[in-house]
Amino acid sequence: MNIIVCVKRVPDTETRIRVGGDGQSIDPSGVKYVVSPYDEFAVEAALRLREANGAGEVTVVTLGDDASQDALRNALAMGADKALLLQGEVTQDGLATARALAAEIGEQDAPLVLLGVKAADDDQQQVGPMLATLLDRPCVTGVSNFELKDGVAVCRREVEGGHQEVEVDLPAVLTITKGEFEPRYASLKGIMAAKRKPLDKKEAAVAESRLRVTTMELPPEREGGRIVGEGPDAVPELVRLLREEANVL
Amino acid sequence: MSDVLAVVEQKDGALRGTAREVVTAAAALAAELGGQVHALVLGGPGTADGVDGLGAFGAEVVKVAEHAALAEYHPDGYAAVVSRLAREGGYGAVLFAATGEGKDLSPRVAAHLDVPLAADVTGLTVDDGTVVATRPIYAGKAFTQVAVEASPALVSIRPNVFQPAERAAAGTVETVEVTEDSSTWPTRVVSFTQTGGDIPDVAEASVVVSGGRGMKDPENWALLEELRAALGDAAGLGASRAVVDAGWRPHGEQVGQTGKTVAPRLYFAIGISGAIQHLAGMRTAGTIVAVNRDADAPIFKVADYGIVGDLFEVLPRLTEEVRSLRDGA
Ligand SMILES: Cc1cc2nc3c(=O)[nH]c(=O)nc-3n(C[C@H](O)[C@H](O)[C@H](O)COP(=O)(O)OP(=O)(O)OC[C@H]3O[C@@H](n4cnc5c(N)ncnc54)[C@H](O)[C@@H]3O)c2cc1C
Ligand SMILES: Nc1ncnc2c1ncn2[C@@H]1O[C@H](COP(=O)(O)O)[C@@H](O)[C@H]1O
């Protein structure tokens, strides 16, 4: 069974964000980019399934510019079989992204599509359920573990106060969260092999973003840094400040 | 002139805390757009009995869709009903809470209606008839303003950010018929296993007590739980990634760039160093308190109030003082 995993290239979580000269996007100079952490869980989940089934291919897909090839190469180095770069502009309009992905994925024979629960940059948590809705397939979000039984995906879904068991028939879309799929490191052999694996490129039809960014700013610096005192003796003063000054108790 | 639909949540028939926030945000938008607020609640039979009170926050009409198959959140069912009602009402904007449920539901509705979704927003204005949302990105390391160039403008709002404000309106309760056929909904929820207590999710709690590696041992969470309980029913528990990775706490409690982004009124960081990925997830909290024995810990750079000291000495005292304050009040 073939599996498609959607991955996104995002700034490393260590990165300090600076606003670029246009005031609408980040300054990319000096920013290290990585595969979005939750997407790595999704890749790991796909690889384990292929290893268990012994058949089928794992294809990683990204919508982005030429630089997004690194994210695909990283996933290939982890063990994915092939990669597809859909060339097009990525914006905060997740529906535009989902549409571009759906146009491609709808044509492929892959009953299981995996995504990260959220991308570590725009943090919208929307592309997965949108993609599924556009493809008219069921979608389970926030899946920390799952197995396939007779064409049914049996998922453990993390929800407030506990977890659910949720079943959907394939074809289906799952968004993966942290859980059982701790991602493997790419081995040196994997990295070498990735260079020879197929990476196709295609122009994607991406609609113009209907979430138009007008400004980007850094959050106001927090004043911060008032040490009330040392040890337990400082507690009464802290509580007084929280009540009388901050008005939060 | 256009009305605004506020999609609000209930649990076991009672409105969730975010309901008033969503209606408040919707009322501010409706005033700008020159329309009214319609609140929408989905639930099982009898839901209409528990939905009063939204009129006081600006809801002209409270629509209630009752059906046995809607008693618990169901992704396909809720998406179908909300999409249909949103379409029929011709709304200028549709608002959701960016809760676990809202984040699952709102993108499905967006795809059904073919409009974009501004998710997890912390500010809303109207500029010349266009809804403009403030969205944190990179887990709060930066903020963008985005003009939502579609109608209806779909927005999910971050819990605890929009303070409920009273604005009297009729609040007339109307039941709406559910014509959808639940046998066609593909998702099957087989079971729910409760693992946590009945405390609010860290992303929705208005007060959060978070612990890090400085707590030393998962057993010591009893100390954090005591402080949390002393702070009241609206308080939740959070954790750093270090303790989640160690298996001391569930991932659902993780605060930070690869966990939840939270904006409570009051945040306690206990034995947490304040790594950039943690700060990203909590720096928009109202008031931040840090307890750490290392005076140079980066958490103190964002904390409004800090105590330098051994948490095992400070924490019990803090719980005791908070308790006596509450008992006295
Ligand atoms: C890709 C990526 C994503 C990440 N995402 C997240 C995320 O979402 N959330 C997150 O939190 N982290 C995240 N991290 C991890 C982050 O970098 C830090 O490693 C982590 O936050 C540290 O957790 P901590 O503060 O509990 O532990 P530590 O950094 O070990 O800090 C423990 C603190 O406790 C103090 N302490 C120890 N004993 C006592 C005592 N008795 N009394 C008082 N104080 C004491 C110490 O002085 C120290 O400051 C991420 C990292 C990466 C690489
Ligand atoms: N440009 C993209 N290309 C491929 N997949 C994407 C893209 N953007 C988002 N995704 C997928 O959708 C998930 C959720 O993203 P988001 O809705 O932006 O939080 C990500 O974890 C990816 O799996």
Q: What is the 3-state secondary structure (H, E, C) of A106-147?
A: CCCCCCEEEEECCCCCCCCCCHHHHHHHHHCCCEEEEEEEEE
Q: Pick the closest to residue B41 from B7, B89, B75 (CA basis).
A: B7
Q: What is the pLDDT of residue B137?
A: 93
- Give span(s): CATH 3.40.50.620, chain B: 4-184
- Bridge partners, B156 (sequence order): B96
For A34-56, write each residue's pLDDT tens digit: 999 999 999 999 999 999 988 89
Q: What is the pLDDT of residue A223?
A: 74
B72: CB partners within 8 A, 6+ apart: B44, B189
Q: Within an 8 Å CB–CB cutoff, is residue B119 touching chain A?
A: yes
Q: Pick the closest to residue A93 from B227, B116, B200 (CA basis).
A: B116
How close, in Å, is residue B57 to chain A by CA atoms? 23
For A84-95, write each residue's pLDDT tens digit: 999 999 999 999
Tell me which chain B residues have a C-beta less than 8 angstroms from the C-beta of A210: 115-116, 148-150
Q: What is the pLDDT of residue B197?
A: 76
Q: What is the pLDDT of residue B54?
A: 95
Q: What is the pLDDT of residue A97?
A: 98
Q: What is the pLDDT of residue A95?
A: 98
- Give span(s): CATH 3.40.50.1220, chain B: 207-328
**Gap between the Cα atoms of B283 and B286, Å rounded:** 8
Q: Among the CATH numbers 3.50.50.60, 3.40.50.620, 3.40.190.10, 3.40.50.460, which is that of B4-184?
A: 3.40.50.620
The encoded tokens of residue B300 equal: 């103190």
Q: What is the pLDDT of residue B329?
A: 59
What's the farthest any 2 CA atoms get from each other in chain A? Answer: 67
Q: Are strands A211-217 and B130-137 parallel, antiparallel or unpaired?
A: unpaired
Integer CA distances (angstroms), A88 to A39, A66, A127, A201, in order: 19, 9, 16, 11
Helix axes A94-105, A127-135, angle to 10 degrees: 50
Residues of chain B falling short of pLDDT 50: none
Residues of chain A falling short of pLDDT 50: none
Contact indicator for B146, B110 with CB cutoff of 8 Å: no
Q: Does the ipTM surpass 0.90? A: yes
For residue B4, the SS3 value is strand
Omega before A171 cis (within 30°)?
yes
DSSP H or E stretch at residue B37:
strand B37-43
Least distant ligand from the CA of A93: 2
Q: Which chain A residue lies closest to B80 (C-alpha atoms)?
A: A133
How long a stretch of residues is chain B? 329
Q: Among the CATH numbers 3.40.50.1000, 3.30.930.10, 3.40.1790.10, 3.40.50.620, which is that of A2-203?
A: 3.40.50.620
- Bridge partners, A84 (sequence order): A61, A200
Q: What is the pLDDT of residue A185?
A: 93
Distance B239 CA to ligand 1 centre (A): 9
How close, in Å, is residue A191 to chain B by CA atoms? 25
Q: Within an 8 Å CB–CB cutoff, is residue B123 touching chain A?
A: no
Q: Which chain B residue lies closest to A23 (C-alpha atoms)?
A: B144
Contact indicator for A215, B145 with CB cutoff of 8 Å: yes
CA A234, A240, A243, A244 dihedral sign is: negative
CB atoms within 10 A of CB B194: 11
- Bridge partners, B260 (sequence order): B255
Task: Determine the atom of ligand 1 nearest the C-alpha atom of A12.
Answer: 1
Class at the top of the CATH hierarchy for domain B207-328:
alpha beta
Among B99, B114, B305, beta carbon nearest to A238: B305
The encoded tokens of residue A151 equal: 């064409």
Q: Pick the closest to residue A77 from A127, A131, A34, A136 (CA basis).
A: A34
How close, in Å, is residue A63 to chain B by CA atoms? 17
Q: What is the pLDDT of residue A44?
A: 98
Q: Which chain B residue lies closest to A247 (C-alpha atoms)?
A: B287
Least distant ligand from the CA of B202: 1
